[in-house]
Chain A
Amino acid sequence: MKKLLRKKEFSIFLIIVFISIVITVASPTFLRPDNLIDVLKGNVVLGIMALGMLPVLISGGIDLSVTGTIALSAVLCGKLMVTYGSNIWMVFLLAILIGAGIGFLDGIIIAKLRIPPIVTTLGMQSVFVGIVLLYTNGDWITNLPPWFKQFGTFTVGVLPNGSGGTLGIPVQIVFLIAAGLITWFVLKYTLIGRGIYAIGGSRSSALRVGYNIDRIQVFIYMYCGVMAGIAGVLHTSIVQQVDPNTFTGMELNVIVAVVIGGASTVGGSGTVFGTFLGVILMAVLENGMVLARIPTFWQKIVMGIIIVIATSFDVINHKREQNKLVRVDIEE
Chain B
Amino acid sequence: MKKVLALILSAALCLSMAACDGGSTPTTVGSQPAADSGKTDSADESKSGTKTIAVMPKLVGIPYFTQTGEGAQQAGKDLGVNVIYTGPTKADAAEQVKMIEDLITRKVDAICVAPNDAAAVIPVLQKAKAAGILILDWDTPVNDEVVDASVHQIDDKEFGEHLVDQLVKAMGTDSGDFAYVTGGLSAPNLNAWYDAGMAYAKTKYPNLHLVTDKIPTDEKQQVAYTKTLDLIKAYPDLKGIVALSTPAPLGCAQAVREKGLQGKISVVGSAVEADSQEFLEDGSLDSASLWDCASLGYLTVSIAKTMLDGQKLTNGMELKGKDGTIKLQLKSDGKTIIMGPPADYVKK
Contact = CB atoms under 8 A, between A and B. Distances in A.
Closest 7 CB pairs of A and B: A138-B61, A137-B28, A290-B230, A138-B89, A246-B222, A139-B29, A239-B222
A142 interface: yes
Interface stretch (A114-122, A128-136, A203-211, A268-276): A128-136
A323 interface: no
Interface stretch (B139-147, B163-171, B213-221): B213-221
Given A29-B233, A135-B28, 15 more contacts: A29-B236, A38-B229, A42-B226, A79-B29, A135-B26, A135-B29, A136-B29, A136-B61, A137-B28, A140-B221, A141-B29, A241-B221, A246-B220, A295-B212, A296-B213
Nearest to A134: B26
Interface in B59-84: 59-63, 66
A42 to B, nearest CB: 7
Interface in A293-307: 293, 295-296
Interface in B201-230: 212-213, 215-216, 220-223, 225-226, 229-230
A245 B225 contact: no
B266 to A, nearest CB: 22
Nearest to A297: B213
A290 B222 CA distance: 17
B66 A243 contact: no
A299 to B, nearest CB: 10
Interface string B51-63: 0000000011111
A293 B59 CA distance: 31
A134 B215 CA distance: 30
10 contacts: A79-B29, A134-B28, A135-B28, A137-B31, A137-B32, A137-B34, A138-B59, A139-B28, A140-B61, A291-B234
B153 interface: no
A140 B233 contact: no
A69 interface: no
B233 A243 contact: no
A65 to B, nearest CB: 19
Given A137-B28, A137-B29, A140-B62, A239 B89 contact: no
Contact count band on B: 20 to 34
A284 B48 CA distance: 63
A140 B224 CA distance: 15
A241 B223 CA distance: 12
Contacts of A29: 233, 236
Interface of B: 26, 28-29, 31-34, 59-63, 66, 89-90, 212-213, 215-216, 220-223, 225-226, 229-230, 233-234, 236, 254, 258, 275
Interface string A38-73: 100010000000000000000000000000000000
Interface of A: 29, 35, 38, 42, 79, 133-142, 153, 239-241, 243-246, 290-291, 293, 295-296
A138 B233 contact: no
B98 to A, nearest CB: 17
B225 A35 contact: no
B220 A243 contact: yes
A245 B87 CA distance: 14
Interface centre among A140, A153, A240 (most CB of B within 10 A): A140
Contacts of B90: 245
Given A137-B60, A139-B66, A296-B215, A243 B29 contact: no
A133 B28 CA distance: 10
Given A133-B89, A134-B26, A246-B220, A240 B254 contact: yes
Contacts of B222: 239, 241, 243, 246
A295 B59 CA distance: 27
Contacts of B236: 29
A243 B222 CA distance: 8
Contacts of B33: 137
Interface centre among B26, B31, B220, B222 (most CB of A within 10 A): B222
Nearest to B60: A138
Contact of A136 (B28, B32, B216, B233): B28
Contacts of B66: 139
